[in-house]
Amino acid sequence: MKPARSLVLSLVTALAATLGAAWVALPAFAAGATASFVKTADWGSGWEGKYTITNGGGSTINGWSLAFDLPSGTTLGSYWDALLSSAGQRHTFTNRSWNGSIAPGASVSFGFLATGSGSPTGCQLNGAACGGGTPPPTT
């Protein structure tokens, strides 16, 4: 009986060591691309905003598009380090030729001026929520 117990204990130990090694070797979960917004200045009747897009994934991002809404009464003025298209209160910024590729762990930023007191809402980066996650379902 003692040899059987020793064999079982050896097998359990080997299995635990193998599973532990496999667990350590698994790749870390990548957050993917995210975008964060900050008002870098506010002078009452207007403000300066900045978005930073960060690649938390494991592969290079080749091209980005960031869209958000501004409330009625808030309008965009000058902008930099991105291209802009607008439809009503929905504004979409896309990369320039020189800042479209974002390596893993790297980030790019763009900024703009706005008049009014509102802040961006409904932010989407490449069709997904700016905070990360999967793209919303199409309707």
Is residue 4 a part of any domain in this protein? Answer: no
Q: The domain spanning residue 67 has which CATH number? A: 2.60.40.290
Range of the domain at 104: 33-129
DSSP calls for 101-126 = EE-TT-EEEEEEEEESS---EEEEET
**Does 45 map to a domain?**
yes
Read off the pTM. Answer: 0.74
d(CA 71, CA 22): 50
20 inside domain: no
Indicate whether 19 belongs to any domain.
no
Residue 110 lies in a domain: yes
The total number of structural domains in the chain stands at 1
* 22-53 per-position pLDDT tens digit: 443 434 445 799 999 999 999 999 999 999 99
Q: Among the listed ranges 10-14, 44-48, 53-57, 120-124, which one has the minimum average pLDDT value?
A: 10-14
Q: What is the mean pLDDT of residues 109-119?
A: 96
pLDDT digits (tens, 9 = 90+) for 88-102: 999 999 999 999 999
